[in-house]
Amino acid sequence: MRKQHTIVVLGSGGVGKSALTVKFVSGKFVEKYDPTIEDFYRKDVLIDGVRHTLEILDTAGTEQFSSLRDLYILNGQCFLIVYSLTSMQTFNEIRGMRDNILRIKGIPPNSTQTVPIVLVGNKVDLAMEDRREVNRSEAEDLAAHWCCPHLETSARDEIGVNEAFIEVVNQMLLHRPKSRSVCSVL
């Protein structure tokens, strides 16, 4: 039995959303930065013996396409929120992205209810070259506050890429309400 899931990849421009997505889907690293409007990808994966079809929406990192992004958030089941380890500004901007997800999904900000999110610090390869601006402990504290996993990745060096996408599906499966058995009396 095949299960289908919609993953929305969010983050500021230039953090590597497209590079992560393309690396996961095709195994190729996109070196040249070409700002995305919106891209759609599909990949089949096997998780715990169950085949899952992942529909991945790679969103624009600019406010110019915010209405499209809001529609994708509304229809998304789980979210990768990506920031660059080499840019504190992109880390500071992710709080608003999570708030936006909760608002669009109709979840009050202080609610214990949440949505499946994985916080992704990308460009760990550059962070290892003394270009890190975001401390791991600061990101992990935020992830703990949001009750979500945090991973550091590198699309270039293929560090944590598959794990990020698989983890967001696992988070979605954990958050999914259990279906009830139905008994029909004829």
pLDDT, averaged across the chain:
87
Q: What's the pLDDT at 67?
A: 66
Q: Which residues contact 161 (CB under 8 A, 6 or more apart)?
A: 20, 23, 24, 153, 154, 155
Instruction: Report how far residue 16's alpha carbon sits from residue 90's, in angstroms, rounded to the nearest whole number.
Output: 11
Residue 119 scores a pLDDT above 50 = yes
SS3 50: strand
CA pair distance 66, 49, nearest whole angstrom: 37
pLDDT digits 0-9 by tens, 128-154: 888 999 999 999 999 999 999 999 999
pLDDT of 2 reads 72
Integer Cα distance of 106 and 129 in angstroms: 41
pLDDT band at 177 (very low <50, low <70, confident <90, very high): low
Residues in the chain: 186
Write down the pLDDT at residue 170: 93
* Every domain of the chain and the residues it spans: 2-175
Kind of pairing between the strands at 78-84 and 117-122: parallel
Q: What is this structure's pTM?
A: 0.88
pLDDT tens-digit profile of 150-167? 999 999 999 999 999 999
Supply the pLDDT for residue 112.
76
- What pLDDT was estimated at residue 180? 41
Q: Does domain 2-175 have CATH number 3.90.930.12?
A: no
Q: How confident is the model at residue 30 (pLDDT cuts 50, 70, 90)?
A: confident
Looking at the DSSP bridge assignments, the partners of residue 40 are 57
